[in-house]
Structure 1
């Protein structure tokens, strides 16, 4: 695959009850490109959201779920999730402020 640009790394934020509780500790959860690594995710967050400084990035690969339609079985796509922890002096991420 061609090289991944920083604006292609973060696909969308994940809004769940657990991720909303983690925001009090300055941890934000994103769905990211499956081939992105931790350094690419850190660079993308710092470039896309001004004033943010990333302290650490935790990633997890999620397997696709098995689905059935009639008698045929299939799987949904694999995904990758990243939990980004910001430093104490870092600015908040704007997309989560109204939630």
Structure 2
């Protein structure tokens, strides 16, 4: 496994109806590096956003789907999502504030 730096762990936030409704409970969803573990995700969130303390991290591995286009067969990329829950005294992540 290659070394994953904290700025490589979080790829982008996931902006869906369900993930945006969970921001009221201080739960934020991110697309993360497939080889990142929960400790690396927690460190990356705390270092990237000031005043944020992570209470728990839940990860979800999504396997790639089989796709066809005529006779050509392929797969979409496998992804990994992380749902990060912040502590009660933590500041909110400003990235989601304007959405």
TM-score when normalising by structure 1: 0.97
1:47-73 Cα distance to aligned partner (Å, 9 max, x none): 000100000000010011111111121
2:62 equivalent to 1:69: no
2:11 equivalent to 1:11: yes
What secondary structure sits across from 2:20 in the alignment? helix
Q: Following TM superposition, by how much is the alpha carbon of 1:2 offset from its aligned partner in structure 2, in angstroms?
A: 2.6
- Paired position in structure 1 for 2:98: 98
Q: Structure 1 unaligned runs (5+)?
A: none
**Separation in 2, partners of 1:50, 1:84:** 15
What secondary structure sits across from 2:34 in the alignment? coil
Provide the aligned C-alpha RMSD in A.
0.7
What secondary structure sits across from 1:42 in the alignment? helix
Q: Structure 2 unaligned runs (5+)?
A: none
What secondary structure sits across from 1:83 in the alignment? strand
TM-score when normalising by structure 2: 0.97
Q: Which runs of 4+ in 1 moved over 3 A?
A: none
